[in-house]
Amino acid sequence: MTDLSSVLDCADKNFPSSLETLFELCRIKSISTDPAYKSECRSAAEWLANYLTDIGFEASVRDTPGHPMVVGHHAGASAEAPHVLFYGHYDVQPVDPIELWSNDPFDPAVREVEGHKVITGRGTSDDKGQLMTFVEACRAYKEIHGALPVRVTILFEGEEESGSPSLKPFLDANADELKADFALVCDTGMWDRDTPAICAGLRGLVGEEITITAADRDLHSGMFGGAAANPLHIMSSILAGLHDETGRVTLEGFYEGVEETPSQIKAMWDKLGQTDETFLGQVGLSVPAGEKGRSALELTWARPTAEVNGMWGGYTGDGFKTVIAAKASAKVSFRLVGKQDPKAIRESFRAYVRSKVPADCTVDFHPHGGSPAIQLSYDSPLLNRAKSALSDEWPKPAVVIGMGGSIPIVGDFQKMLGMDSLLVGFGLNDDRIHSPNEKYDLNSFHRGIRSWVRILDALVK
């Protein structure tokens, strides 16, 4: 029996107590957005710090202007071992509407749902169950070897579900203490119940609000129609021109820093069995609308976009009013990939809009955030070691996926601490996070613990 097998056996032996430990944490009503639960959030932080201390970490509760952070350290078996920062969050979403819950959201239990054993309750999947998979893996490893194979710093946040207002100041003030070789983030999910996944890419974002002004007041369309500039016409033409007939974005320099997805990765995605029809069918559509010749998964995981999120102006109330609006406004967002520069994309968009606005009209811009994409190299030794470790644990081999949205903490780790992040989680799409009847598959919790044991072991090979 190998040392790894001994640790895995220990994790299995500990599992009943691991489950009860998770129940204890989930009973704490750590709803960060509601001031009425401020003391509960502190209780959750103190509970975690005490538990980390009990299993051999140096852990403490750190005050912030909002809810506290929990920071823990373990030196590992060797000073030369890799150093990892593990991130999770202990706060949860409100439970409203409470009448839609089948059980008390803060009375976790193992129940059977649609033929599967699940852990029910608020926070079981997002994110208490997820973070405890790592903690319990550390517990098992230490029980067998007395130390962890890598140096570990743990950061548990208490405001993720309410916008993380204290996070960036905390990272900035404690950068030297928190910086590691790389970060591990567990707030993600599996591809399906049998297939683990590693997220290698998160798209960045640029948001812009624009307003085009023509006449100094709304005009009667009978008296001025055909002669006066109509800002709704101008806006419609500008937005329609953002894409060519093949679906590509037309902004100058837009694709600088965009690389083609490796063929082996696209082949992996093709084997997942997700067709354009099945992907779009869940929302009543069937034909991809982006760049021609690319699958729906590639379009959402690995390609940049320009999307109109809203447009308004003129009269939109009941009935009819023959008016030429004085102003037209729109909100436009760009999802970024690779090394696209948010600042350059914003400047290119503004230059394009200005070039299309008539001389006697004006345009104003209002920015709505900008962040670069996050991309872990598909050839990263870290990624491939984790992929192999996960594949050894689950019925099906691990897959490398992307995510169409963003996880702000990952960008903060890269920008503020200079660390790449490995995103591994064990949630499922039907876990109902943020909704009534949240759950976490019992198998996700059990195999999640075993998976982190394997990953910790793989990081030093």
Q: Within 13 Å of residue 278, how many CA atoms lie on the same side as its CB?
A: 6
- The answer to whether 408 and 163 have CB atoms below 8 angstroms apart is no
Enumerate domains of the chain plus CATH numbers: 3-202+373-458 (3.40.630.10), 204-241+311-371 (3.30.70.360)
Determine the average pLDDT of the residues in 340-356.
97
Task: Return the pLDDT at 104.
Answer: 98
Q: Rounded CA gap, 376 and 421, in Å?
A: 8
Burial of 240 (0-12, 13-18, 19+ CB in 10 A): exposed
DSSP state of 319: S
Q: Rounded CA gap, 68 and 41, in Å?
A: 8
**Per-residue pLDDT tens over the stretch 275-310:** 999 999 999 999 989 999 999 999 999 999 999 999
**Per-residue pLDDT tens over the stretch 189-225:** 999 999 999 999 999 999 999 999 999 999 999 999 9
Phi and psi torsions of 25, nearest 5° = -65, -40
Per this entry, what is the length of the chain?
A: 461
CA angle 362, 363, 366 (to 5 degrees): 150
- The answer to whether 215 and 324 have CB atoms below 8 angstroms apart is yes
- The reply to whether the predicted model has a pTM over 0.95 is no
**Per-residue pLDDT tens over the stretch 241-250:** 999 999 999 9
Which residue reads 């003030």 in tokens? 173
Which residue reads 């990892």 in tokens? 84
Give yes or no for residue 1 having a pLDDT over 60. no
Structure tokens at 87: 């991130």
Which residue reads 């959402």 in tokens? 300
